[in-house]
Structure 1
Amino acid sequence: MLGLLINDGEQKEIEYLVKRELEELLMDLEDHRIDNMVKHAMRERYKVLFNVFRRVANEQECMKYIPKRTGN
């Protein structure tokens, strides 16, 4: 396990960057033109980024980005 000391400004910047990436992934996951193998990799990336987001964002913000369960 690694530790990281950041100030409030850095925390907000990380939160902003991860939030934008999560939104981009969600939008791309809904695109029917993208192959399922690629979408699988995107879902894995989403999981990793969401776990990072949980560490820097408050609970209300996290609720907006909780991954929806799918059959895929």
Structure 2
Amino acid sequence: MFGMIIDEKERLEIEYLLKREMDEILFDFQDERIECIVKNAMEERYKILFALFKRIAPANECMRYIPSYLKSKD
């Protein structure tokens, strides 16, 4: 377990970077030219990024990025 002290400006920057990466993965995931094995790796990366995002982003921001496999359980 690691701890980190960051100020609000740094938190916002990390939030922005994570959003950008997750948006890119979501966009690429819709590309039919990408093979299934690559999409599996992308999904694993998305899970890690989303876990980090949940720790720093407000709940209303997290709702937009909830992975589809979690949305379908409702």
Shift of 1:25: 0.2
Specify every segment of 5 or more residues in structure 2 that has no aligned partner in the other structure, as ranges: none
Q: What is the CA RMSD across the aligned residues, in angstroms?
A: 0.9
Task: Give the share of equivalent positions with the same residue, in percent.
Answer: 53
Structure 1 CA distance for aligned equivalents of residues 34 and 54 of structure 2: 27
Moved over 4 A (4+): none
Shift of 1:13: 0.1
* Count of aligned pairs between the two proteins: 70
Match of 1:12 in 2: 12
TM-score, normalised on structure 2?
A: 0.92
TM-score, normalised on structure 1?
A: 0.95
Give runs of aligned pairs for residues 31-70 of structure 1, distance below 5 A.
31-69=31-69
Question: Residue 63 of structure 2 aligns to a residue in which SS?
Answer: helix
Summarize deviations over 1:5-60 as a string: whole Å, max 9, x none: 00000000000000000000000111000000000000000000000001110000
